[in-house]
Amino acid sequence: MKLLIADDDPTSLAMLKAAILKTGDEPVLATNGTDAYRILSESEAPELAIIDWMMPGMNGIDVLHKVREKPTEKPPYIIMVTARDSKTDIVVGLDAGANDYLSKPFDLGELRARIEVGRRMTSLQNDLLKSKAQLAHKAAHDPLTNLMNRAAVLDCLILELSRLRRLDGILAVGMLDLDDFKSVNDTHGHHIGDEVLRICAKVLTQNKREYDSIGRIGGEEFLIVAPMSTGSNPKSLFERIRRTIAATPIAAVPGGLKITASIGATCARQDATAGEVIREADAALYQAKRQGKNQVVFSSQCAQHEKNLNTPNTQDT
């Protein structure tokens, strides 16, 4: 662990550095408050710091105030070290944002013990943040496919619609449905059906661009939200996904199982609501199913972007 030591006294700085090296930590040195604050403001700042009260530039109290003013999920654990050891001074230091207080001249054993307390606290803080991130991921993702769930991908659609109203461009939205999926479950069992969904999710993830949003919105249906620049052809993304799914066998079934998908897509109007966009894509999906499945059909809303969006597809055999 990196540990900041900020002290303008060379003897004290050397003693603290030697003590930190014995704990196996990596000391980061500063001889004034200005440098200490700069180091604690870096993206990879030390999680634990020992700061002297009296320093040139900015004193330790000023450093504490400025560090605590900045909102962060990972505030550093700061031990204030000073010869000022009256109860009033200790209260001032703790009120300024110090987590602990150590008087000079300090005992090395006490210093190591207080550093260990700081290490435990930062470890607990990191575990808490990790758990928070995991819970947030679970709340927004489908457990089977690890794609975004319905609520999360609809939030992305609403966000992209808001962006579309402010900026020029195209927002292509596709509704993908696996063809004859019920027969897969009926013939091969739900465990194979789950594998089909996972493989479809993998294909979607591998073919999406970094700014696309994809989620499972229920059963064998997936929603694709794809913002594009003006002049782009929305068909290419959806066709690539369709072809890749059709060309990916399900190895869990002896001899392989061929799966296809139908996609209904639309290009959102700037004044459209999420519900209207979903209904347009769903209507195009229904048309793709009626026309023989395993194809991409665009709504009439996309005609302004590409005249030949709904030219017949060459279906994969």
Residue 84's H or E segment, with its range, is none
Residue 220 annotated as catalytic: yes
Q: Which of 53, 57, 68 is nearest to 34 (CA)?
A: 57
Give CA separation, 179 vs 173, 176, 201, 246, 312, in Å: 19, 9, 15, 10, 18
CA dihedral 273, 276, 280, 286 (to 10 degrees): 140
Which of 220, 221, 239, 276 is an active site residue?
220
Residues 17 and 160: their CA atoms lie apart, in Å, by: 51
- Whether 100 contacts 114, CB under 8 Å: yes
DSSP state of 258: -
Residues 81 and 7: their CA atoms lie apart, in Å, by: 9
Identify the bridge partners of residue 221 per DSSP, sorted by sequence position.
177, 218
Residue 307's H or E segment, with its range, is none
- Whether 146 contacts 194, CB under 8 Å: no
DSSP letters along 120-150, please?
HHHHHHHHHHHHHHHHHHHHHB-TTT-SB-H
Sorted by sequence, the CB contacts under 8 Å of residue 296 that are 6+ apart come out as 174, 235, 238, 239, 242, 262, 263, 264, 265, 288, 313
How many other β-carbons are positioned within 10 Å of the β-carbon of residue 57? 15
Active site members: 220
